[in-house]
Structure 1
Amino acid sequence: MKKIKILLFTVFLLSFHFSFSQGSPDYNGGFKIKFNDDGSKYLRVISWGQFQAAYNDNVPETASNLSFNVRRARVLLLSQISKKFLLLTHFGLNGLNSATLHPVGKGDGNQIFMHGIWGQWNLNDNHTVGGGLHYWNGISRLNNQSTLNLLTLDNNRQSWATIGLSDQFARHLGFFVKGKLNKFKYQLAINDAISNGLDMRTPENGGSAVYGGKRILGSKDAGFAYAGYFEYNFLDQESNTLPYKVGTYLGTKKVFNLGAGFFTHPKGSVVATSSGSMEGDNVSILAVDAFYDAPLSDDGSAITAYATYQTNDYGKDYMYSAYGTGNMFYSHVGYLISGDVKKARFQPYLSYGSNSYDALDDSRNVFGLGTNMFLSGHNSKFTLEYKNQKFGENTTGTVTLQAMIYL
């Protein structure tokens, strides 16, 4: 009887985490298939879609400023028949637009792929080990961000600091351990880095680093990457049953956390000497961050604030797409206007990010201004955002309207 009560309590907490963080009066834990009378054996199904219309003021003369896309279409399955272990399966697609459509649905943009598949085994009530294609990342809160309950339109791009370089779409193949000691939470992972990452360049003699250590040097010298994130929950305790960090609780929780994390990939990058010999260059990313989310009054108003400072060392003068050796500061703040949770509610927000690079004199500065309109918490919301990015002489302004439904 005692074991059954503990198991029911665990299932209740898991369901409560999903419903509590979404701020919807209609959600109540979502869709769950129960395989026994007490609900201790179940399959939890989560589905969501994000649909966008974007206006970009920096496009070629022959291109339209207006475009439509499916930002995300995902399904997540969570199954448990014992409190001792859990299986998570996550699949879907990203960034479906007119350029990635295919006449018969076979193009790369149409392909549904595995975002995650991992198992977790509980050592006891507070500590867990697991393995597979997982999302127990290091570095920062935003590198573990859920896309179900973001404050801003999307995650800060540079915070997913290894996406496509050492992993598959921010998920690594490896093993992890996670747990908590009172108010302190931790997660650590050892991962087998991807061999065919985005950076397929060949190092130039005497030039900058290329993120291709495993591909060029081999798995013996450059095969593994290591990650960790640690946080202290000063006020309400956040769930760490799953790795997905909540963006904004909509006043349903009072949270203040300080965190720090790392990612390291020994010889993950490669530099070519002036004579042409290849040498490994270690990749090391460190970050500290702070997250605050709390109701401000009994009428429903609330504040959400986040800030992080991150140092990125991808190797000598590394620069590729959004990644570069240098430093990053990012912050956002949002204010939930008071109102009836059963009616439309608004949450204006601001965001700012600044990225400096060793290889360049110019910094990348990104400013965002937007608002969320919640029809049923995060389960049905609209987001309108203006984002301005200045990088050297190039300035881009984008206005995006996103509609999201989450079941």
Structure 2
Amino acid sequence: MHKFLKIVWLGVLLLSTQLTFAQQSSITPSDTTKPTRVITTTGPVVVNETVNQVPAPKPTAERNELKYNLNESGSHFFKATFLNQAWLQFNQSNPGSTVIGVPKDNTLSIGLRRTRIQMFGQISDHVFLYFQFGMNNFNYLNGGFNQTGSSNRKIQAFFHDAVSEYIVWKNKDYLKIGGGLTIVNGLSRFSAPSVSSIMTMDVPVFAQATVDQTDEFSRKLSLYARGQVGHLDYRVVMSDPFPIQTNGAALPTYGPNSIFALKGHNKQFQGLFMWQFLDKETNQVPGYNTGTYLGARRIFNLEAGFITQKNAMVHLAAPGDTVYKNMNLWSVASFLDMPLNKAKGTAVNAYLGYFHTDYGKNYLRFNGALNPASDIAAAQRPGGLGGTQGNTFPMFGTGSVVYGQFGYLMKRDLFGAGNGTLMPYVQAQIANYQRVTSTLGVYNIGLNYLIKGHNGKLTLDYQNRPYYEPSSGTSQLSAGGRRGQLTLQYQVFI
């Protein structure tokens, strides 16, 4: 018993020592000893006490990025971004449109225009790595439902980009050589748009000239060189296009009108050259072009670009007479993104471009973003073309296109500090195609509510477009009237 009491006493003594040490060690270097007044009936008496003085935390700057520095200076880093664009879409459908077998004149639908994850970084002074994973045009039809089959709603996401890049000169943008699956394209700035920063609700998709035909949502397996030398921003690309047989859609048939070739395989060559008169644009992420800097930079560019591919297109001049043609596309354009009043935060954004689009004789393809209709009645197919239901219009074709947009950024904190501002815009695509008898005009008017710049914004957009009717005895298409579409987008980006 005596031995047991000694052990208990020793344990209590050790525990007491530990508690005393813990209390003493809880006093940090910022703790100070200062006099404290104790009030008594006879007057104040000063007593010295140890008092914990915890300094008020300093306010920290809010961060808008998820970035891990690989060195102390931050010049080597790895970063992740996330983007979600949700659409609420009311559409007046083209005549004859059906939704899962039922005729519908209009639709109200909810969808995801884009959901993306980017991961990229400067691994060393000479090495840059870029990945993008995500999905597009995901609504209740899951991008592929029709009356003769179905699609799988669980296989929409895929790798958009997987690029490795070598920076030839340290800390210089003169020359960067890269390769992989990439959106580094020629033709125009909107052939490789940074969709998180666009001013309009959606990009002019016609500028992504071969989208989902011989590429993967505008990405191709490519080897490229790009960079900035003085005022010149350039990129030249050799691409290995995909055969149209792998795009997941029904194959086009040979006829008098041009289609993408079903035989043969040739490399595609592209280039884009921009002369930057004022500030230089960002050049870090391979290929992508900013939509608007919201007045943060003074940008005025002139650009010219091209895409060419030997024997990319084919048509029948006569039964059994197969004619292969080169695909030749080029454009010239100007781009302005400029602050007007820095104190107020106002700015302007404008783009005007001319596109020459030669896909071969009478080529024409309809397309519509996040199409809410699944099919169209056979009797309503203009010129026998498929894919003309819902909100589609002749987006791609042999001929020429003029595209323009204009937007005005209103004053900073229009609705009070931290409550954001507005940016209204207008947008127009005017085309003359060989296979369409009259000038095609698609017009948009919209309003951005920039809650937190591009990181959080609401966009309300109205689009007015033509629809086309069958023409008996000819492959030419004539406009039958016009339809409208009202879309509300909520974008969150970090």
Is residue 2:353 matched to residue 1:308? yes
Which secondary structure does the structure 1 equivalent of 2:128 belong to? strand
**Alignment pair present for 1:200 and 2:251:** yes
- Tell me if structure 2 keeps the 8 A contact 1:348–1:372: yes
| Structure 1 residue 39 displacement after superposition | 3.0
1:49-128 mapped onto 2 (5 Å cutoff): 49-58=84-93, 61-62=103-104, 65-100=107-142, 107=152, 110-124=155-169, 125=172, 126-128=174-176
Aligned-pair CA distance for 1:229: 0.3
- Aligned with 1:338 (options 411, 417, 420): 411
Change (3 A) 1:369 1:109: farther
- Once the two structures are overlaid, the 10-residue window that deviates more, 191-200 or 254-263, is 191-200
Offset from partner CA, 1:165-200 (integer Å, 9 cap, x none):
221100111100001210111100001111124682
CA distance in 2, matches of 1:171, 1:364: 27
Q: What CA distance in whole angstroms lies between the structure 1 residues aligned with 2:481 and 2:124?
A: 55
Cα pair 1:137 1:189 within 8 Å, conserved: yes
Which secondary structure state, in structure 1, belongs to the residue aligned with residue 435 of structure 2?
coil
- Name the TM-score, length of structure 2 as normaliser: 0.72
For the residues of structure 2 that align with 1:202 and 1:208, how far apart are their CA atoms? Answer: 10
8 Å CA contact retained: 2:137, 2:143: no
CA distance in 1, matches of 2:88, 2:82: 21
What is aligned with 2:320?
276
Per the alignment, residue 228 of structure 1 pairs with: 271
* Conservation of the 8 A alpha-carbon contact between 2:138 and 2:156: no
* Match 2:282 to one of 221, 239, 242: 239
Change (3 A) 1:27 1:183: farther
Aligned alpha-carbon RMSD (Å): 2.0
Quote the residue 1:400 is aligned against: 487
CA shift in 2, pair 1:178/1:71, >3 Å: same
Report how far residue 360 of structure 1 moved.
2.1
Looking at structure 1, the residues matched to 127 and 444 of structure 2 have their Cα atoms a distance apart, in angstroms, of 41
TM-score by length of 1: 0.87
Distance 1:121 1:190 in 2: 16
Give ranges in structure 1 of 5+ residues lacking alignment. Answer: 1-25
* Counterpart-to-counterpart distance in 2, 1:365 and 1:405: 31
Q: How does 1:5-24 map to 2 (within 5 A)?
A: none
* Inter-partner Cα distance in structure 2 for 1:92 and 1:208: 34
Task: Kindly name which structure, 1 or 2, has the bigger radius of gyration based on alpha carbons.
Answer: 2
CA distance in 1, matches of 2:258, 2:441: 24
Instruction: Give, in angstroms, the shift of residue 110 of structure 1.
Output: 4.3
Shift of 1:108: 5.0
Aligned position for 1:15: none
Q: Report if the CA contact (8 A) 1:253-1:295 is conserved.
A: yes
How many Å apart are 1:29 and its aligned residue? 5.2
Structure-1 separation of matches of 2:434 and 2:153: 34
CA distance in 1 between counterparts of 2:303 and 2:200 reads 20
Distance 1:27 1:89 in 2: 26
Structure 1 residue 245 displacement after superposition: 1.0
Show CA shifts across 1:346-405 (max 9, x none). 001111111111122133211111110011110000000111012411412001000000
2-structure distance, mates of 1:27, 1:121 = 32
User: SS of the residue aligned with 1:91?
Assistant: strand
- Secondary structure at the residue paired with 1:65? strand
**CA distance in 2: counterparts of 1:138 and 1:37, whole angstroms:** 37
Displacement, 1:27? 6.7
* Secondary structure in 2 matching 1:194: coil
> Residues 109 and 314 of structure 1: is their aligned pair in 2 closer, same or farther, counting only changes over 3 Å?
farther
Following the alignment from structure 2 to structure 1, what is the Cα–Cα distance between the partners of residues 481 and 316? 31
Specify the alignment match of 2:236 in structure 1: 188
Aligned to 1:6: none
Which digits, 9 at most, give the CA deviation of each residue in 1:9-42, with x for residues without a partner?
Answer: xxxxxxxxxxxxxxxxx87451112334443442
Question: Residue type of the partner of 1:224?
Answer: K
What amino acid sits opposite 2:352 in the alignment? A
C-alpha distance in structure 2 between counterparts of 1:378 and 1:256, whole Å: 21
Aligned with 1:42 (options 71, 74, 77): 77
Structure 2, gaps ≥5 residues long: 1-60, 145-150, 367-394, 468-478
1:248–1:27 CA distance, 2 compared to 1 (3 A):
farther
Q: Is the 8 A contact 1:199 1:320 kept in 2?
A: no
What is the aligned counterpart of 1:210 among 259, 284, 292? Answer: 259
Residue 320 of structure 1 and its aligned partner are, at CA, apart by 2.2
Partner of 2:295: 251
SS in 1 for 2:206: helix
Secondary structure of the 1:393 match is: strand
Does the 8 A contact of 2:92 with 2:106 survive in 1? no
Q: Secondary structure at the match of 2:318?
A: coil
Assess if the C-alpha contact under 8 Å between 2:123 and 2:129 holds in 1. no
How many residues were matched structurally?
A: 372
CA deviation vs aligned residue, 1:136-156 (integer Å, no higher than 9, x gap): 110011112110111100001
Equivalent in 299, 321, 327 of residue 344 of structure 2: 299
Q: Is residue 288 of structure 1 aligned with residue 332 of structure 2?
A: yes
1:77 maps to amino acid? M
Alpha carbons 1:390, 1:396 under 8 Å: kept: yes
What SS does the aligned partner of 1:39 have? coil
Provide the residue aligned with 1:21 in structure 2. Answer: none
Counterpart for residue 158 of structure 1: 206
**Bigger shift: 275-284 or 78-87?**
275-284
Percent identical among aligned pairs is 29
